[in-house]
Structure 1
């Protein structure tokens, strides 16, 4: 695989494009918004500056990485020469199915079509294409340039050869692939999201406050950040979407989203991306302030 296309220039998309470009792959970064594409390039440049400042990258390597990325607002133009397409659009099943229908037409017949979905069935996504054997999940972790894990998800029809190639290219990125089969939430979110949901229930039921819950899990369980801070970081809307997939897929009430999470998302409190979640995220600062409504009276 020589040419990569990444669909979606948000947090995950620009991170995936960054990882491939820094490792020498020509990347087509695709989004319907030119403004979003320019913002993504700015984010990638800032992240590269941090790596340069740590002495892990030269200015020349930074410039080469940025030259490896070409932006497109046309899906057809962006994917037509790609050997591997990685879809990193919003976690919305209808949107993803539309994209993969289009990819079945626009991408080369031999191209591998991967989705960065965190919970949506790869088998379902593959079913709308004319090449289900070439469809696979590549679930990168956020922040992509830093996190080593890539969850590689085989759909029902994914071929052994496609899996082998995706494992190989994951390793070429300096990351560690871990294979999983296609069941709701795969492995990472099937385990993580119920924990986050239980932490939200603990807050909802008045067991403890935001800081107390996060402190207990950080200090008692050696987690790098507490589950409520992590939920803000992932995006409360994304957490809700994944829990809904788990609940629908397994039909088990233990996956039902906490009413507090539902209300927060409906109110537009989505965590870091909106500036308000379980914490208030001040612009340009890493300081976390517990949202007023959750502070002890």
Structure 2
């Protein structure tokens, strides 16, 4: 099995930064790519800040932090990923955007042993694999936010993913990155989001109907069910636009009403109230 030494990450947002960090901390060379080099550099600054916080917590040494940062390069040119052993797409949760990326990556990454993976939360891998034109080496590799903290990765092979690709990626996630893995069928939502998103949307419907306040709903689940975070703060952390997008993908796949984003969530997204990343969602995150 060919060793994975060079990882390309497409998308320098929250998830891309987290994936870049865990790969760099594992001693891999990482090329972080976004639509412009400035955006990629902003992503690198986020990684540097996260590593500094990890050092202050005692999770990494100063030497480990410096070594991880030295292993990251940034670019706004997708063709720079042509020599990567593994490319992980972590772009916006939009099927058209991801499909276009995989079409480009299929042309750029020519090594038949290289793997193309998507961090999608809900989009079927088969559609991305078809766009890439090399479906046997395309797989879902779904990390959870915050990536450096949460141990789980969902491995999602499509019907065309080769067994060797699945085993190689699973070994990479477990043995190199130190993650725990589960394998899910290639259906929208996979395992975790198929269970999580209806729960989050139910909490949104409770707010919309006036059943309880957002604060009381979250307190009910943290104090009454021992959840580490309430559903509405969790939705804010994920990003309300992402929650809505995953709900849409699940509803398209299954046509079950519990997956449909409620009107309140749609209006909040349309109004730019996206949660933590915008400073306001169901809770206020603006500095005091």
Residue 102 of structure 1: how far off its partner (Å):
0.6
Aligned to 2:120: 117
Residue 130 of structure 1: how far off its partner (Å):
1.8
Aligned equivalents of 1:96 and 1:56: distance in 2? 34
Residues 1:168 and 2:171 aligned together:
yes
Aligned to 1:137: 140
Aligned equivalents of 1:175 and 1:52: distance in 2? 20
Residues 1:266 and 2:273 aligned together:
no
Aligned to 2:100: 98
RMSD: 1.0
Aligned to 2:237: 233
Q: What is the SS of the residue equivalent to 1:5? A: strand
TM-score (norm 2): 0.96
Q: What is the SS of the residue equivalent to 1:27? A: strand
Asked if the contact 2:36/2:77 (under 8 Å) is kept, the reply is no
Residues 1:182 and 2:151 aligned together:
no
Aligned to 2:246: 242
Deviation readout 1:60-115 (Å, 9 max, x if unpaired) = 111110010011110012x1110100000000100100000011100023210000
Q: What is the SS of the residue equivalent to 2:284? A: strand
Residue 257 of structure 1: how far off its partner (Å):
1.1
> Which 5+ residue runs of structure 1 have no aligned equivalent?
286-297
Which stretch has the larger CA shift, 30-39 or 106-115?
30-39
Aligned residues: 283
- Equivalent residue in structure 2 for 1:207, among 183, 191, 211: 211
- Displaced runs of 4+ in structure 1, greater than 2 A? none
Aligned to 1:11: 14
Aligned to 1:289: none
Aligned to 1:292: none
Aligned to 1:157: 160
Deviation readout 1:238-273 (Å, 9 max, x if unpaired) = 000000001110012221111110111111111111
Aligned equivalents of 1:104 and 1:34: distance in 2? 22
Aligned to 2:224: 220
Residue 56 of structure 1: how far off its partner (Å):
2.7
TM-score (norm 1): 0.93
Residue 52 of structure 1: how far off its partner (Å):
1.3
Q: What is the SS of the residue equivalent to 2:131? A: coil
Aligned to 2:47: 44
